[in-house]
């Protein structure tokens, strides 16, 4: 379980995140949406103890992430290309991640084999450093590395942009399998409302660092999200239907 308690982050006098209390139960697939500057990446960075809050705490299984390293053993994350070691090849990077997880060679081979469809012949055995890969393929490397060890908590910031349609579909399959088989707690931010409603059972809208909606995903959720982010369009559609 993840819990944010009185969590606030301020930059240059501007509050970019202000969460009184937000609880994400174990095994939940949690989507985070909002316009640029809403505080999504800031929230994820606080969960991962990348930045320091001005007030409040983030707890992972009742442990303050800022004062414990225990959560790192069961947490996988990919926020952006800075999570990669781009002067390595994908094989070298994956081998490094496997050592961090203390995986033996058979486990390592089995994990890579599981990503065969997702990689689509574009990642391994290309004789390229990660920095030479396309942005979409760099993202594939980062997402795959985050999934090594089948994490109990998975955090992905905008995982869908730069992926081709086939890779997006395959990533969705991977995420749904984690929900059903491993019971991973997933936190996913996305600007694509269709994708996030398809893979997340709960969606929170952030606006200027505040939670403005907390929704359980159902057949009306996508319409609700569109109405929030584009009310003029929704009003026009309603008028045409009269």
CATH number, domain with residue 166:
3.40.50.300
Contacts (Cβ under 8 Å, ≥6 apart) of 181: none
Q: Is the dihedral of CA 40, 143, 141, 74 positive or negative?
A: positive
Q: Is the pLDDT of residue 47 over 90?
A: yes
- Give pLDDT, residue 162: 94
Render pLDDT for 178-212 as a digit per residue (tens, 0 to 9).
887 778 999 999 999 999 999 999 999 999 999 99
* Per-residue confidence band for 233, with pLDDT thresholds at 50, 70 and 90: low
- Nearest residue to 139 (alpha-carbon basis) of 78, 199, 86: 78
Render pLDDT for 116-169 as a digit per residue (tens, 0 to 9).
999 999 999 999 999 999 999 999 999 999 999 889 999 999 999 999 999 999
Give the predicted TM-score (pTM) of the model.
Answer: 0.92
Long-range Cβ contacts of 161-166 (<8 Å, 24+ apart): 161/191, 161/192, 162/134, 162/135, 162/136, 163/136, 163/139, 164/136, 166/120
- Nearest residue to 24 (alpha-carbon basis) of 224, 211, 229, 228: 211
Average pLDDT, the chain: 92
Q: What percent of the chain has pLDDT over 90?
A: 90
Q: Name the token pair of 174.
A: 């991977």
CA distance linking residue 190 with residue 47, whole number of Å: 17
User: Which residues are 23's β-sheet partners?
Assistant: 3
- Give pLDDT, residue 181: 76
- Nearest residue to 18 (alpha-carbon basis) of 47, 36, 45, 42: 42
User: Total structural domains in the chain?
Assistant: 1
Q: Out of 41-45, 81-85, 177-181, which region has the weakest mean confidence (pLDDT)?
A: 177-181
Other beta carbons within 10 angstroms of residue 229's beta carbon come to: 15
Give the rounded distance of the alpha carbon of 232 from its chain centre: 30
Q: Is the pLDDT of residue 242 over 80?
A: no
- Give pLDDT, residue 223: 93
- Give pLDDT, residue 180: 78
Q: Out of 31-35, 105-109, 131-135, 209-213, which region has the weakest mean confidence (pLDDT)?
A: 105-109
Domain that holds residue 34: 2-241
Apex 198 CA angle, 183 and 58, nearest 5:
50
- Give pLDDT, residue 178: 85
Long-range Cβ contacts of 162-168 (<8 Å, 24+ apart): 162/134, 162/135, 162/136, 163/136, 163/139, 164/136, 166/120, 167/118, 167/120, 167/136, 167/140, 168/195
- Give pLDDT, residue 177: 87
């Amino acid at each position: 379980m993840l819990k944010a308690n009185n969590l606030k982050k301020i930059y240059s006098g501007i509050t970019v995140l202000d969460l009184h209390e937000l609880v994400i139960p174990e095994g939940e697939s949690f989507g985070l949406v909002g316009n640029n500057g809403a505080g999504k990446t800031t929230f994820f960075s606080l969960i991962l103890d990348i930045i320091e809050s001005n007030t409040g705490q983030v707890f992972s299984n009742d442990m303050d992430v800022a004062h414990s390293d225990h959560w790192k053993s069961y947490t996988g994350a990919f926020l952006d290309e800075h999570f990669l070691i781009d002067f390595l090849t994908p094989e070298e990077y994956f081998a490094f991640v496997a050592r961090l997880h203390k995986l033996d060679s058979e486990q390592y081979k089995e994990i890579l084999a599981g990503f065969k469809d997702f990689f689509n012949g574009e990642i391994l055995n290309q004789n390229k450093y990660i920095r030479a890969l396309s942005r979409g393929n760099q993202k594939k490397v980062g997402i795959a590395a985050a999934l090594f060890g089948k994490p109990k908590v998975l955090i992905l910031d905008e995982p869908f942009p730069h992926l081709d349609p086939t890779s997006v579909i395959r990533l969705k399959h991977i995420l749904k399998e984690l929900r059903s088989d491993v019971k991973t707690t997933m936190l996913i931010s996305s600007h694509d409302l269709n994708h996030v409603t398809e893979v997340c059972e709960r969606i929170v809208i952030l606006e200027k660092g505040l939670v403005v909606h907390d929704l359980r995903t159902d057949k009306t959720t996508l319409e609700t999200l569109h109405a929030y982010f584009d009310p003029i369009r929704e009003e026009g559609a309603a008028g045409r239907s009269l």
